[in-house]
């Protein structure tokens, strides 16, 4: 097996466990916490996630590309110092001017404890920097183990804190302290080099900023824009006091985004290293195409099944009050299925130093998303139209983003259209099967669902086989 395959499988071992824990515990949490609790919690996490991005200046991404370990450690310290000052100022501002900040936020029921948002953002910023250091050292086992511990700790704490009737705060504190645990695990790996190079930062800060200026100039606004667009439905709905639908959206989004999040967490860092060494070679193009084709086979049929039977699945698994989340999932299925093709190879923009491409694409669609959602809510239309607008624009965004990745990777639009044709063909085939099954009045819904699940599962297994073969294939040329 090639180096990319070994590293990816090592990350996947922890990643699968880390993703399965929240899925397995969700049916219990959705019976302990209400959709409104999840709506407030998701808004809290959204704001913290958005704040983390400018706080780090995205030097966590630049750290992997540094020429030597001294510069990497220095850049890590510089990013952490800026995050500490930036988020510290925000925390003080929230405490001193809570009467102004809290009523304007979507988290007004939380009151003064809103100051915990920048604290969580600071912990997360530290985590990102340590993760980058671990990636640079190829300590993928530590990253995978830490992810499992974090997810397990968050689940256990959320269940335990419900005994105190904390509502949304039970979920928030569970996430906060589980992140602290993860950072503690990474500190031994990441902090050692950073601390020893502290003097280098103070004397060379201007040079570091100059050499890596594209990350704060392009990656920060790209990431902020992307996160704002992703979380904006939740923030907008809670701001208009529609916290129930916000919670339904949050749960549906959590489930439907698991595959793309898993692929990004297990493959992105490894693919980045591979791209730095191999971008522009035939081997790299074959790797990208092979992985893309196999992921289409794995996920498109599975997402179609989830979207088609979403309401019934959510009502059975998560309880009666979460049936609406299944309806939300029906609309989110396609854009998040496409996200399995774009998340892990997006670092191609950084490797090609074309962050302005991704920024332009991201900003354009984000403006459309924000404008569309605000227009729906301001006009007083059906709030569920927010979900539909978000789904349509996210689908278009994923397609344009994937096309840009293929162009920068040297594969061209012809390869992109072949992938899109494969996606469309699978959707058309699954739709035809579903129509034929539903038109047979003598078949029960359970039988219809079982047949569709077997077909989707069979195609997905073919994709898994192809995926493993791609990872197992030996490279045609030694690493540079």
> 52-79: per-residue pLDDT in tens?
999 999 988 888 777 777 788 888 888 8
**Quick one: pLDDT band at residue 202, thresholds 50, 70, 90?**
low
pLDDT tens figures, 286-298 = 888 999 999 999 9
Q: Is 272 exposed, middle or buried, given 0-12, 13-18 or 19+ CB atoms closer than 10 A? A: buried
**Quick one: pLDDT band at residue 304, thresholds 50, 70, 90?**
very high
C-alpha closest to that of 26 among 14, 38, 43: 38
- Residue that is written with structure tokens 């302990």 in the block: 32
Instruction: Give the pair of three-digit tokens for residue 79.
Output: 């990013």
Q: What is the mean pLDDT of the chain?
A: 83
Measured between its terminal Cα atoms, the distance across the chain in Å is 17
Instruction: Report d(CA 40, CA 245) in Å as an integer.
Output: 11
Would you say residue 479 has pLDDT above 50? no
Helix axes 35-56, 220-239, angle to 10 degrees: 160
Q: Are 194 and 136 in contact (CB under 8 A)?
A: no
What H or E segment, with its residue span, contains residue 197? none
Instruction: Report d(CA 298, CA 291) in Å as an integer.
Output: 10
Would you say residue 474 has pLDDT above 50? no
Chain CA centroid to CA 23, Å: 15
Chain CA centroid to CA 245, Å: 21
pLDDT the model gives residue 265: 72
Give the CB-side neighbour count of residue 404, counting CA atoms within 13 A.
23
pLDDT the model gives residue 454: 95
pLDDT the model gives residue 269: 62
Instruction: Report d(CA 260, CA 419) in Å as an integer.
Output: 17
pLDDT tens figures, 310-326 = 888 888 888 888 989 99
Instruction: Report d(CA 157, CA 33) in Å as an integer.
Output: 13
Q: Are 285 and 38 in contact (CB under 8 A)?
A: no
Q: Which residue has the higher pLDDT, 169 or 264?
A: 169
Question: What average pLDDT does this structure show over 92-109?
Answer: 63
The DSSP string of 272-321 is HHHHHHHTTSHHHHHHHHHHHHHHHHHHHHHHHHHHHTHHHHHHHHH-GG
pLDDT the model gives residue 53: 94
Instruction: Report d(CA 224, CA 49) in Å as an integer.
Output: 9
C-alpha closest to that of 465 among 290, 302, 257, 338: 290
Question: What average pLDDT does this structure show over 421-441?
Answer: 90
* Least confident piece of the model among 191-195, 287-291, 418-422: 191-195
C-alpha closest to that of 321 among 108, 38, 25: 38
Helix axes 168-196, 198-211, angle to 10 degrees: 100
Instruction: Report d(CA 210, CA 203) in Å as an integer.
Output: 13
Instruction: Report d(CA 336, CA 257) in Å as an integer.
Output: 6
In percent, how much of the chain has pLDDT > 90? 37
Would you say residue 136 has pLDDT above 60? yes
What H or E segment, with its residue span, contains residue 200? helix 198-211
Sequence-separated contacts (24+) of 162-167 with Cβ below 8 Å: 162/32, 162/33, 167/33, 167/34, 167/37, 167/40
Instruction: Give the pair of three-digit tokens for residue 296.
Output: 């289409």
pLDDT the model gives residue 114: 74
Instruction: Report d(CA 286, CA 227) in Å as an integer.
Output: 31
Instruction: Report d(CA 270, CA 198) in Å as an integer.
Output: 28
**Quick one: pLDDT band at residue 420, thresholds 50, 70, 90?**
very high
Instruction: Report d(CA 162, CA 144) in Å as an integer.
Output: 28
**Nearest 10 degrees: Cα torsion 467, 472, 474, 476:** 0
* Least confident piece of the model among 113-117, 187-191, 467-471: 187-191
Question: What average pLDDT does this structure show over 291-307?
Answer: 94
Say which DSSP state 53 is in. Answer: H
* Length, in residues, of the chain: 480
Q: Which residue has the higher pLDDT, 137 or 156?
A: 156
What H or E segment, with its residue span, contains residue 242? none
């Amino acid at each position: 097996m090639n180096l990319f395959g070994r590293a990816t499988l090592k990350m996947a071992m922890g990643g699968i466990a880390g993703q399965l824990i929240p899925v397995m515990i969700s049916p219990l949490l959705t019976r302990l916490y209400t959709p409104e609790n999840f709506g407030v919690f998701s808004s809290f996490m959204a704001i913290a996630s958005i704040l983390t991005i400018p706080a780090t200046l995205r030097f966590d991404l630049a750290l992997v590309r540094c020429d030597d370990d001294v510069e990497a450690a220095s850049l890590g310290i510089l990013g952490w110092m800026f995050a500490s000052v930036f988020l510290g100022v925000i925390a003080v501002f929230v405490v001193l001017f809570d009467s102004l900040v809290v009523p304007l936020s979507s988290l007004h029921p939380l009151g003064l404890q809103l100051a915990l948002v920048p604290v969580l953002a600071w912990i997360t910023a530290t985590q990102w920097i340590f993760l980058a250091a671990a990636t640079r050292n190829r300590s993928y086992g530590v990253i995978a183990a830490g992810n499992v511990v974090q997810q397990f700790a968050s689940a256990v704490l959320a269940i335990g804190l419900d005994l105190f009737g904390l509502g949304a705060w039970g979920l928030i504190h569970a996430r906060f302290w589980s992140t602290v645990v993860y950072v503690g695990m990474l500190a031994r790996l990441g902090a050692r080099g950073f601390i020893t190079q502290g003097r280098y930062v103070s004397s060379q800060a201007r040079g570091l900023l100059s050499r890596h200026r594209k990350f704060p100039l392009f990656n920060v606004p790209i990431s902020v824009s992307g996160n704002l667009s992703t979380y904006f439905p939740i923030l907008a709905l809670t701001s208009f006091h529609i916290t129930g639908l916000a919670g339904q959206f949050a749960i549906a989004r959590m489930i439907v985004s698991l595959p793309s999040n898993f692929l990004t967490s297990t493959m992105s860092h490894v693919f980045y290293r591979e791209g730095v060494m191999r971008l522009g070679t035939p081997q790299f193009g074959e790797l990208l195409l092979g992985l893309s084709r196999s992921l289409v086979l794995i996920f498109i049929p599975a997402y179609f099944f989830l979207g088609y039977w979403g309401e019934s699945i959510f009502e059975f698994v998560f309880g009666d009050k979460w049936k609406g989340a299944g309806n939300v999932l029906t609309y989110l299925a396609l854009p998040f299925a496409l996200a399995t093709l774009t998340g892990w190879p997006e670092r191609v923009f950084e490797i090609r130093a074309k962050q302005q491409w991704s920024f332009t694409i991201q900003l354009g669609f984000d403006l459309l998303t924000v404008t569309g959602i605000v227009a729906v809510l301001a006009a007083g239309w059906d709030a569920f139209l927010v979900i539909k607008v978000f789904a349509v624009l996210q689908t278009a965004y994923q397609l344009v983003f994937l096309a840009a990745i293929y162009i920068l990777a040297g594969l061209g639009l012809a390869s992109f259209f072949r992938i899109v044709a494969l996606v469309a063909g699978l959707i058309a085939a699954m739709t035809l099967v579903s129509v034929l099954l539903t038109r047979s009045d003598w078949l029960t819904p359970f039988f219809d669902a079982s047949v569709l699940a077997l077909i989707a599962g069979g195609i997905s297994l073919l994709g898994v086989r192809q995926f493993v073969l791609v990872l197992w294939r030996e490279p045609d040329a030694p690493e540079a």
